[in-house]
Amino acid sequence: MPSTRVRPPAPRPTGPVPGVVTTVRSDDGAVLAVHGAGDLFDRSRPLAVLQHGFPDTPATWRHLAPLLVARGHRVAMPWLRGWAPSTLGADPASGARLGADLRVVHAALGGDHRAVVVGHDWGAAAAYHAASDGPFAAVVGLAVPPEPSLHGMLLDLDQLWRSRHALRARLPLGRSWCDEPLAHVVALWRRWSPAYVPCAADLAPLRASLADPGARRGMVAPYRAARLGAAIGAGPAADGPVPAVPTLLVHGRDDACIDRRYAVAAGPHLSRRNPTSSVWLVPGGHWAHLEHPRDVGLGIAAFLDRTCGVGA
């Protein structure tokens, strides 16, 4: 039976502030625009960096951010490089480069050993890189498993069909993404999270970002920077390591972008690197943190409390 679309809950006023709080310049010249929740510059609080993915914005953290602030964190939510108001730098926007950007944000905001990173989609790939050789104490990845669990994707016809957006973005025909970007984005949201209807809180910042021609190129830049196997297969996932720090992979059971089989397959890879790492299958699709914001948010917060000792 087809899934019933549900109207998302109204955005909370205590989520990300409407405007950019600060900007950070990466070492290759990219300017990263950062939203904040809580007192972003209070260094007595542990830093939580929340990195959105494709194709969305920091507004998708509007439910999780206030939960983390209430538990003692200060929260930074950067725009991915290339997504206006952030800019593309000189380096290709690979998963490793996106991870380096998160380390730059950590350093610029005075993060310490208590800092944590949460990423969704390409943001998850960035988070795995950032924590594998960087300063973060724990990682939460949403919707995209680490690379080793995705081997064999190129032989999986069902998954190749699910990932056809990645191939389209890489090929010259991917220029069509730049012609009507918002229409393509909305189609992906509805395909990947069948029970979720994106609301104004989701679409307004996307519309504003994609009005910048540079952002229209930036939205596909990570796919074009990925090695060919990654681009055709998992996109962000096939371009990242497995962190040794405690890691939680959150994956929607009905995610129509990456099948949950690959999330389940990530479990042994994660636990071999750290016995406290695990996979959590939750109701919903690619944006489970928007479909079930309270349950998913509280689960993420509880994981971070256990691993980092922060929380009310």
- Structural domains of the chain, with CATH: 22-308 (3.40.50.1820)
Rounded-to-10 torsion of CA 159, 143, 102, 36: 140
pLDDT at 177: 60
C-alpha span between 108 and 92 (Å, rounded): 22
pLDDT at 311: 59
C-alpha span between 48 and 72 (Å, rounded): 10
Q: What is the pLDDT of residues 231-250, one digit of tens each?
A: 444 445 444 689 999 999 99
pLDDT at 66: 95
197 Cβ contact partners less than 8 Å away, ≥ 6 residues apart: 5, 6, 7, 8, 190
Enumerate residue ranges in the chain where pLDDT < 50. 1-17, 173, 231-235, 237-239, 312
Pick the closest to residue 252 from 219, 302, 298, 290 (CA basis). 290
pLDDT at 241: 87
CA 82 to chain CA centroid, nearest Å: 15
Q: What is the pLDDT of residues 139-159, one digit of tens each?
A: 999 999 998 778 777 788 899
pLDDT at 107: 96
Half-sphere exposure of 253 (CA within 13 A, CB side): 6
Instruction: Evaluate whether 57 touches 284 at the Cβ level (below 8 Å).
Output: no
Structure tokens at 96: 């490793």
Type of residue found at 307 = T
pLDDT at 176: 58
Which secondary structure element, helix H or strand E, spans residue 99, and what is its range? Answer: helix 95-108
pLDDT at 12: 36
pTM above 0.85, yes or no: yes
